[in-house]
Amino acid sequence: MTEKQLVNVAVPLPLDGALTYSVSDASDIPNSGVRVQVPVGRRQMVGVCVGPAESVQDSRFKIRSIVRVIDEFPIVSDTLLEFLSWISDYYFYPLGQVIAEALPPGFLSARSKGIARILNKGTGRGRSRFNPEKWGQGPDFSLTSEQENALSFINSSLQKKQYQPVLLHGVTGSGKTEVYLRAAARCLESGRSVLVMVPEIAMTAQTTGWFADRFGNLLSVLHSGMTDAQRRDQWWRIRSGESPIVVGTRSAIFAPLADPGLIIVDEEHDSSYKQSEKLRYNARDMATVLGRLSNATVLLGSATPSLSSYYNARIGKYHLIRLEKRVSGRKLPDVTIVDRRKNAEQKSGKKKMSARGTWLTPELETAINETLLRKEQVALFLNRRGFATYIFCPECGHVFRCRNCDVTMTWHRAAAGSSGFLKCHYCGDEAPALPVCPSCGGQAVKAFGYGTEKVESEVRERFPGIRTARIDRDIISSTKRLNEVINSFRKGDIDLIVGTQMITKGHDFPMLTLVGILWADMGLNVPEFNAAEKTFQLITQVAGRAGRGDRPGRVLVQTFMADNFAIKTACAQDYEAFYQKEAAARRELDYAPFARMINFRLSGTRKTLVHEAGEKLVGLAREVCAQALKSSGQGSPENRVDILGPAPAPRARIKNRYRSQLLLKSRSIAAVRRACALIQARKDIIPSSVRLEIDVDPDSML
């Protein structure tokens, strides 16, 4: 019997490895990266060929043959396939499902058409250099000396065509984008492609616009707001070489660019780079991996670098470039802390607390008046939507909670005078806002807390005649709508804007001279290891919106925790001081980046089953960690793996699923990964009714 040719095929199923199939004719062996249609059980599926397979001796397995080879050319290039395999390995996520995540929707459907036709058209143009004469005009200013220095390092790195990660730590308004634009132009001129990642397209429309102006139709944009057809369209433009520069959000890391020479991650600290479901990758981290595989310069930019990137810069893994000054001699805004504790005391000393006193201090009120009088603009920042966050019946103690989740429902009024509705911010469930308690019939239902909706409505009462707008997810349903609001703010048609963190990013408003941060410590009292880091970043970024035009900016930071170091260092705009203190705390407690962490998340609809699964999981974890420690040569503390949990997640039930978690951490990445691999290999001790998800380098554990 002649030996059949065997190939491995990754299909989008939760399998540990690829499946092996045979090809009848040796001349038909598909290349790696080519899609094939194969039988899986009784189904037909489309998978991607990932390489030849060894012949299998085991006669219990009958090897089936490939039904159809779909592509003439690989849909996934060798480098991309290597990258995706790396991701699969690193995140303990099945390769076939990683590939499915990386390809546009529908690419693994049985009706897929081959890619010979389109690629033929695209590759015809060869590897010509892209012609800069056709590009948009650059700006008429000259670079600051800091920008010049940054660019000259990046350009020489581009010339070397080697992996070089760079952390560009530039204060807000220091002109990082111009550095990106010129570096991108240089890279394109050398014939290599460019990937630019931004946190969220809607919020970074300005940045995207600058790239579009400069690079015209060489540019593709990829983001989640696009239709499937638009995505596929852009994908083909990139794959065929027609578009050698891509601006996109997180998933753009999978863009099929040939030979990327420069990978830019703007606002690299932003948590939206981390996907919080299914394949829980961090695109910022993966940018460095892709950079290594493709010999690219990786440029991570931020005014508030993540602790882990700054740590990597300090230990020499990344080259650090600083931009310490704003462009055109503009000053960083003047930041004042308004201690609300004192404020509250002063007020209670008086006869009556002002009804509005809950969010508006006299200091801020005065500053708003002064600013409006000068015909300048104000932005008020509060990271919470809605009108009130907590509805409660004082007669029986009933709290209006979501029926699917362990959280209180937020009251939205929608229109002044209307009684509005209650909404769960986790599952989206809504209920009418009744003035009567459903539990005891009490008539005195009270609302507590405040969100952006209430702030805007009280601003209108307090400052009659001013033109206000609100930016949060309740009213900004589309990028188009957001751009309308942003444009009218920029034009001066709005005096005051109230917003959530949607207003923190990448916009320049020259007449915005006062920023009020209403409740700076709101994010500090959450049980997250990185709460201080997130708070520092948010305050610094929001404050950085002020004074970006010719007039100086002011920032008022209202807080109940005026002594907290994250708040103090953010207000002093002293990144280094923040880093030193936060790094010391993380090192002490063995948290990232000094320890590596893997979080096992369990969830299910039955509480007892989730609980039992947690007990089984921790038993297994203890066993494998002890084993791993023994086998690694008498337990050096560096190889120790700590096990925390299992414990219910802080949000113990979301969308009717009970949630529990178990955290592994270790100073040795090898040790924690080994333990994770051993656990994963025996994960069938968890009943199938309980979902187990592995979160490598977790960013949030709520």
Residue with tokens 């010339």: 159
Contacts of 543 (CB under 8 A, 6+ apart): 172, 333, 335, 515, 517, 555, 557, 570, 571, 573
Residues 570-599 that bind ligand ADP (CB under 6 A): none
Closest approach, Cβ 403 to Zn ion, in A, equals: 7
Q: Give 328 or 478: the residue with its C-beta nearer to ligand ADP.
A: 328
Indicate the SS3 state at residue 307. Answer: helix
Q: Give 94 or 170: the residue with its C-beta nearer to ligand ADP.
A: 170
Q: Give 409 or 482: the residue with its C-beta nearer to Zn ion.
A: 409
Report the alpha-carbon angle 348-456-459, nearest 5: 55
Measured between alpha carbons, how far is 39 from 45 in angstroms, rounded to an integer?
A: 6
- Work out whether 305 is an interface residue with ligand ADP (CB under 6 A): no
If contact means CB under 5 to 8 A according to the sort of partner, which of ligand ADP, Zn ion, none does residue 159 touch? none
Give phi and psi for 271, each to the nearest 5.
Answer: -75, -10
Closest approach, Cβ 358 to ligand ADP, in A, equals: 32
Closest approach, Cβ 360 to ligand ADP, in A, equals: 29
If contact means CB under 5 to 8 A according to the sort of partner, which of ligand ADP, Zn ion, none does residue 170 touch? ligand ADP
**What's the distance, Cα to Cα, between the start and end of the chain in Å?**
59
Measured between alpha carbons, how far is 493 from 468 in angstroms, rounded to an integer?
A: 9
Q: Give 170 or 604: the residue with its C-beta nearer to ligand ADP.
A: 170
Q: Give 198 or 641: the residue with its C-beta nearer to ligand ADP.
A: 198
Closest approach, Cβ 597 to ligand ADP, in A, equals: 30
Residues 658-687 that bind ligand ADP (CB under 6 A): none
- Work out whether 328 is an interface residue with ligand ADP (CB under 6 A): yes
Q: Give 89 or 148: the residue with its C-beta nearer to ligand ADP.
A: 148
If contact means CB under 5 to 8 A according to the sort of partner, which of ligand ADP, Zn ion, none does residue 144 touch? ligand ADP
Contacts of 64 (CB under 8 A, 6+ apart): 21, 22, 38, 39
**CB of 446 closer than 8 Å to CB of 394:** yes
Chain residue at closest Cβ approach to Zn ion: 424
Closest approach, Cβ 277 to Zn ion, in A, equals: 16
Here the tokens at position 683 are 């994960």
Q: Give 234 or 537: the residue with its C-beta nearer to ligand ADP.
A: 537
Measured between alpha carbons, how far is 246 from 319 in angstroms, rounded to an integer?
A: 24
Measured between alpha carbons, how far is 455 from 457 in angstroms, rounded to an integer?
A: 5
Measured between alpha carbons, how far is 175 from 316 in angstroms, rounded to an integer?
A: 24
Q: What single-letter amino acid sits at 592?
A: A
Closest approach, Cβ 205 to ligand ADP, in A, equals: 12
Q: What single-letter amino acid sits at 668?
A: S
Rg from Cα positions in the chain:
27
Please, is 170 exposed, middle or buried when counting C-beta atoms within 10 Å of its C-beta (0-12, 13-18, 19+)?
buried
Closest approach, Cβ 510 to ligand ADP, in A, equals: 9
If contact means CB under 5 to 8 A according to the sort of partner, which of Zn ion, ligand ADP, none does residue 404 touch? Zn ion
Closest approach, Cβ 255 to ligand ADP, in A, equals: 22
Q: Give 426 or 560: the residue with its C-beta nearer to Zn ion.
A: 426
If contact means CB under 5 to 8 A according to the sort of partner, which of ligand ADP, Zn ion, none does residue 172 touch? ligand ADP
A 10 A CB-CB count for 349 gives 7
DSSP alpha helices (H): ranges in 300-352? 307-314, 340-349
Residues 164-193 that bind ligand ADP (CB under 6 A): 170, 172-178
Closest approach, Cβ 326 to ligand ADP, in A, equals: 8
6, 279, 293, 327: residue in contact with ligand ADP (rule CB under 6 A) = 327
Residues that bind Zn ion (CB under 5 A): 402, 404-405, 424, 426-427, 429
Residues 503-522 that bind ligand ADP (CB under 6 A): 508
Residues 130-149 that bind ligand ADP (CB under 6 A): 139, 141, 143-144, 147
Q: Give 97 or 513: the residue with its C-beta nearer to ligand ADP.
A: 513
Indicate the SS3 state at residue 54. Answer: coil
Measured between alpha carbons, how far is 434 from 411 in angstroms, rounded to an integer?
A: 10
Q: Give 192 or 545: the residue with its C-beta nearer to ligand ADP.
A: 545
- Work out whether 251 is an interface residue with ligand ADP (CB under 6 A): no
If contact means CB under 5 to 8 A according to the sort of partner, which of ligand ADP, Zn ion, none does residue 175 touch? ligand ADP
Report the phi/psi class of residue 217: left, alpha or beta, with left for phi > 0 and alpha for psi in -120 to 50.
alpha
Question: What are the CB-based long-range contacts (under 8 Å, 24+) for 456-461?
Answer: 456/498, 457/387, 457/413, 457/416, 458/356, 458/359, 458/360, 459/380, 459/496, 459/498
**How many residues bind to ligand ADP according to rule CB under 6 A?**
16
Closest approach, Cβ 172 to ligand ADP, in A, equals: 5
Give phi and psi for 442, each to the nearest 5.
Answer: -55, 150
Closest approach, Cβ 486 to ligand ADP, in A, equals: 14
Q: Give 94 or 175: the residue with its C-beta nearer to ligand ADP.
A: 175
Residues of this chain that bind ligand ADP (CB under 6 A): 139, 141, 143-144, 147, 170, 172-178, 327-328, 508
